[in-house]
Homo-oligomer: A and B are copies of this chain.
Amino acid sequence: MLPAASQPDDAIRLTYRIETAGDPERLAAKIASDQSTGTFVALPGETPELKARVAARVAGYRELPPVATAAWPDGAIAGARYRAGEADIDFPLDAIGTDLAALMTIAVGGASAIKGFSGFRVTGLRLPPAFAAAYPGPQFGVAGTRRLTGVQDRPVIGSIVKPALGLRPHETAALVRDLVAAEVDFIKDDEKLMSPAYSPLAERVAAIMPIIRDGEQKTGRKVMYAFNISSDDPDQMLRNHDMVADAGGNAAVICLNAVGFGGLRFLRKRSRLALHAHRAGWDAMTRHPSLGLDFSVYQQFWRLLGIDQFQINGIRVKYWEPDDSFVRSFAAVTTPMFSPADCCMPVVGSGQWGGQAPDTFARTGRTTDLLYLCGGGIVSHPGGPAAGVKAVQQAWEATVAGVDLDVYARQHTELAQSIAFFGASDAAA
């Protein structure tokens, strides 16, 4: 047990969960060595002076309870028990620099290849202030999302056109018309809908933006529509961006793992849109508690690179993720790294309708600074989308006022209808 030393201003601190049939503290020392100066044979050029210049060091170590089963089956040893420990390792900023490609390669990616682990997970990342200066961070964030949508003092209420895939642009536009008439604040393309043959992005923009602009003429508020502009090609993504921005759009869906650091970094420098992140693929990196990496680590990279709105599931979702994990994700994206301006607007979605409002509010610090995204939860309301939007707004009014939803529903028809319709299963999409 080594109490964690305080983190120097010129160090990057990584925390790893190490599981092994051997000695986790020894493996922590091996990470520090292998990922900075280590090599297997003493070499002529390797002097103590250069080692000191770039050496990482173990700054803290905490033993965790042993585990019975190796996380990686090929790390199993017959009859073994596995020790687990959490190690803090400080990497000198001078040795890595502020490029996230170097940080990722040295301190996240490379370490997982080391022999001897039966499990390995990156559980913590604390960056020194130099990163604040090196990256743009969110351009809009919470304040910008509120300003652009004109929504204050309550959650921004969003929806998704459903079905997610298969509609032609004019079919999507017809549903968007209903949602705009319903006075929803935000609409987005599904993360899976980019620019397929049956719905090219250009045609979708051409069909949808006139409806958004008409709505603005009528109500004075412009519905924020996030078009999915993701592409593996940054040049194409920028053309997509320009098409949306030039048509008066103000937001875009970005599939983080599919565009990569390079795609987002390139776009953010040139972006006029609020960037709405979808993390498709993240589940596979995080679900095993002894492997992969924590969301708290993952999200820091994308925030530095410029994400404004971060989709993070919600309470009682239709996916595998437990509520506690969602609550930690919400805390992660709303906790400043260096300043409040680097926080993202949390986007709460998946199977949501008004029914999850009370638990969402109670478990996320009683804030209304969120984008509350209901697909089927609005569109499938028995009274139609307008009733669906009203029902969600009513659920949040009740929640903030501390009134039980069932009580509030006595005076609020739309909420009552949604409780009757969705309440049985407590799941929408």
Contact = CB atoms under 8 A, between A and B. Distances in A.
A303 interface: no
Contacts of A175: 45
A371 interface: no
Closest 6 CB pairs of A and B: A260-B260, A262-B263, A109-B281, A109-B280, A101-B258, A262-B262
A370 interface: no
A55 B162 CA distance: 15
Contacts of A245: none
Interface in A125-147: none
15 contacts: A43-B162, A43-B376, A43-B380, A50-B171, A74-B287, A94-B198, A97-B195, A99-B230, A101-B255, A101-B258, A102-B195, A109-B280, A117-B320, A233-B266, A284-B285
A101 B266 contact: no
A164 B259 contact: no
Contacts of A101: 194, 230-232, 255, 258-259, 263
A181 to B, nearest CB: 15
A109 B260 CA distance: 13
Interface stretch (A34-42, A331-339, A394-402, A404-412): A34-42
A35 B377 CA distance: 19
A206 interface: no
Residue in A96, A114, A265, A428 whose Cβ sees the most chain B Cβ within 10 Å: A265
Interface residues of A, number: 106
A179 interface: no
A166 B36 contact: yes
A102 B196 contact: yes
User: Which of A112, A113, A255, A285: most chain B Cβ within 10 A?
Assistant: A113
A97 B260 contact: no
B320 A231 contact: no
Nearest to A75: B320
Interface string A12-52: 00000000000000000000000111111101011000110
Nearest to A305: B232
Contacts of A235: 266, 269
A60 interface: no
Given A50-B171, A237-B262, A106 B163 contact: no
Nearest to A264: B262
Contacts of A236: 99
A344 to B, nearest CB: 18
A234 interface: yes
A100 B258 contact: yes
A40 B429 contact: yes
A378 to B, nearest CB: 11
A192 interface: yes
Given A37-B165, A171-B50, A112 B283 contact: yes
Contacts of A77: none
A75 B289 CA distance: 12
Contacts of A259: 101, 260-262
Scoring A69, A167, A278, A282 by chain B CB atoms within 10 A of each residue's CB, the highest score goes to A167
A197 interface: yes
A220 interface: no
A288 interface: yes
B427 A40 contact: yes
B191 A105 contact: yes
Interface string A83-116: 0000000000011110111101110111011111
Chain B CB count within 10 A is highest, among A55, A110, A117, A292, for A110
A275 to B, nearest CB: 14
Contacts of A116: 320
Given A105-B258, A163-B50, A263-B261, A73 B232 contact: no
Chain B CB within 10 A, most for which of A75, A194, A379:
A194
Contact of A73 (B117, B162, B289): B289
A425 to B, nearest CB: 9
A8 interface: no
